[in-house]
Each structure stands twice: as structure tokens, then as C-alpha cells.
Amino acid sequence: MTSPHPDNVIDGRAIAACVLGELGQRIAELKKRSAQPGLAFVRVGDDPASKVYVGRKEKTCGELGIFSETKVLPNDTPERDLLALIDTLNSDERLHGILVQAPLPAHISEARVYSSVMPQKDVDGFHPVNVGKLMLGDAGGFRPCTPAGILELLARSNIRTQGAEAVILGRGNIVGKPMAAMLCQKGKNANATVTLCHSATRDIRSHCLRADILIAAIGAAEFVKADMVKPGAAVIDVGVNRVNGKLVGDVDFAAVQKLAGKITPNPGGVGPMTIAMLMHNTVTAAERFHGMTH
């Protein structure tokens, strides 16, 4: 049961539960055809955070009735061995999605690894084909889970994107760049005017103060202060930073909440949506494989 939320706090856990509930219906339809969505997780090394993240995803698969299996390789695994494993998973018809958990050890090229996953099984949305489809506005690809989850949060919280000034802090390949591409598309729950800020941006505060929608994915603990936020703006906090053993976001939540129109908590905001959208992509991949369109 979710805890009560003040009126302007977006309950990511509740919205994720709605998304997963809808997926349950689609999984039931697949099972009528004797089909079960399947998802493979690949971890390299013993990164504690990666273990936790994969554990949560496995748990959600189990609750939904998605088949999952996890492959764990030692930290010193040669890149060629990881690529060989991915090749095996690509040809396994029980699996409709493959997720390679970041970070990977320094001696392994993330770009090569992500490019080796078949685009049809790339439920993370990192393969160049899916990145290209996203840029072109082609709905036939897979969208990265965190920005796709943020779009769902905005839509289901009745935050208008049409014509809105959206400012994104951070230009990473996982959140910032794809988020900008999604928000500026011509279509429903998009059509925003997007500014992408980063470490070389002059006077970030002035950009933030224009934002109707402010998305912080900059990786700096409590970077966004109250004097950087326009009253009534929607503030989405993607950051995960560890400070003195405590996890904090990129937004100074206590101060910003007082003037935001809507704000995501951290935890309990974007995180649950990322997992929900991974499940969404996996179910969609299974439907496509079995000739069912959704």
C-alpha cells in the first residue's frame, strides 16, 4: 500500500502499478496463445547497485508472469565471451528481451555490447537502430525505459506537454538525449519546446526558471534549488546520488516541493516507472514476435 502523498507529489509507485496492471491483461492474451514473454538479464561483475536493480526487475517479472533468467559473468570476463553469450541469447526463442545491466567493466565497450543485442530484443532501447527510430519518430522501435517512464508520469499526472517549455538537465545517452527527442516529437504527450542543458551551459539557472517542465538528470546531489524553479512548474527528479550513505536526488525536494506545481519524490518517483516500462517493452517484443500488434 502506498503512503498518502501531498497534492503536488507524483506517486510513481501508484502510476507504475497501473501500467503493470494493464500489462497483465496483455500477458493473459499472450498466454491464450501458449506464449509467455521472456526476458534475459546479463550482469558482469559484482556491482552492488546492479545486483539490487536486477533483483527488483526479476521480482517484477515473477509477479507479472514474465519468464526471466539471469546470467552473471565474472568481472574479468573477456569482451568476446560476453558477445558470445549475447549471440546465444539472441537466438533463444524463449527470450523476447535482453537487458545488459550497466555499468560494465572498463575493458568492455558498452557501445559494442549494446549494438550486439538484436534490435527486436533491445528492450533497453540502446541499439543504434532503436536510437535512430526514436529520432525519426518511428514507433516501431523501443524507447529507453527511463524517459519513456517520465512521459507516462507526465501524461498520467495531466501535465500538459503541448507547447510547454521543457528544460532537461543532463545530456546522457540513457536519459537526457532520448528525453529531448521524445518531448520534441510531433504527437500526443510531446510537442514541447526543449532546452537541453549540460556542464558547458552558461547560466543554467536562467534556463531552469523558464521551464514549465524541469527534468533533472545531471547526477549532482540536490543541484536544483528553489531559486531555480518557476512557481507551478512540474519537476521530475531522475538523479540517484549517495551522500553519507543516504540516497538523494538531483533536486532539493523539501525546498522545491513548496513551489512546484507537481514534483516526483526520490525514491518513489521515476524509479518504479523505469521498471514498468522495461516490462512494457518486453511484452511488446513478445507480441511482435508472435504476430500480435498492440
Asked, for residue 47, whether it belongs to a domain, the answer is: yes
Q: What percent of the chain has pLDDT over 70?
A: 98
pLDDT tens digits for range 67-121:
999 999 999 999 999 999 999 999 999 999 999 999 999 999 999 999 999 999 9
Asked, for residue 223, whether it belongs to a domain, the answer is: yes
Find the helix or strand (DSSP H, E) in which 164 lies: none
Asked, for residue 131, whether it belongs to a domain, the answer is: no
More confident residue, 47 or 161: 161
What is the model's pLDDT at position 16? Answer: 98
Residues 158, 247 within the same domain: yes
What is the model's pLDDT at position 277? Answer: 98
Residues 105, 206 within the same domain: no
Residues 100, 202 within the same domain: no
Residues 170, 105 within the same domain: no
Is 76 considered catalytic here? no
What is the domain count for the chain? Answer: 2
Is 57 considered catalytic here? yes
Residues 109, 227 within the same domain: no
Residues 172, 232 within the same domain: yes
What is the model's pLDDT at position 76? Answer: 97
Residues 42, 78 within the same domain: yes
Q: What does the pLDDT average to over 285-293? A: 92
CATH number, position 66: 3.40.50.10860
Reported as a pLDDT band with limits 50, 70 and 90, residue 15 is very high
Kindly name the residue from 11, 101, 250, 252 that is annotated as catalytic: 101
pLDDT tens digits for range 207-253:
999 999 999 999 999 999 999 999 999 999 999 898 988 889 999 99
* pLDDT exceeds 90 at position 20: yes
- Kindly tell me the burial class for residue 4, based on how many C-beta atoms sit within 10 Å of its own C-beta (0-12, 13-18, 19 or more): exposed
Asked, for residue 153, whether it belongs to a domain, the answer is: yes
Beta strand 97-100 with 67-73 is unpaired
Given 3-state DSSP classes, what are the helix, strand and coil percentages for the chain, each rounded to the nearest 5? 40, 15, 45
Residues 116, 150 within the same domain: no
| Residue ending a domain, choose from 58, 85, 120 | 120
| Residue ending a domain, choose from 59, 87, 120 | 120
Q: What does the pLDDT average to over 46-75? A: 95
Residues 268, 149 within the same domain: yes
Asked, for residue 280, whether it belongs to a domain, the answer is: no
Q: What does the pLDDT average to over 268-281? A: 97
* Domain, as residue range, for 43: 34-120
Find the helix or strand (DSSP H, E) in which 69 lies: strand 67-73
CATH number, position 236: 3.40.50.720
Asked, for residue 69, whether it belongs to a domain, the answer is: yes
pLDDT tens digits for range 137-160:
999 999 999 999 999 999 999 999
Kindly name the residue from 11, 120, 121, 124 that is annotated as catalytic: 124
Is 227 considered catalytic here? no
Residues in CB range of 199: below 8 A, 6 or more apart: none
Residues 110, 202 within the same domain: no
* pLDDT exceeds 50 at position 2: no
Find the helix or strand (DSSP H, E) in which 46 lies: none
Q: What does the pLDDT average to over 18-35? A: 97
What is the model's pLDDT at position 5? Answer: 63
Residues 252, 153 within the same domain: yes
Euclidean distance between CA atoms 83 and 88, whole angstroms: 9
Reported as a pLDDT band with limits 50, 70 and 90, residue 294 is low
Asked, for residue 229, whether it belongs to a domain, the answer is: yes
Phi, psi of 177 (to 5 degrees): -65, -50
Residues 240, 154 within the same domain: yes
| Entry pTM | 0.95
Asked, for residue 7, whether it belongs to a domain, the answer is: no
* pLDDT exceeds 80 at position 18: yes
Kindly name the residue from 57, 121, 177, 262 that is annotated as catalytic: 57
Across all residues in the chain, what is the average pLDDT?
96
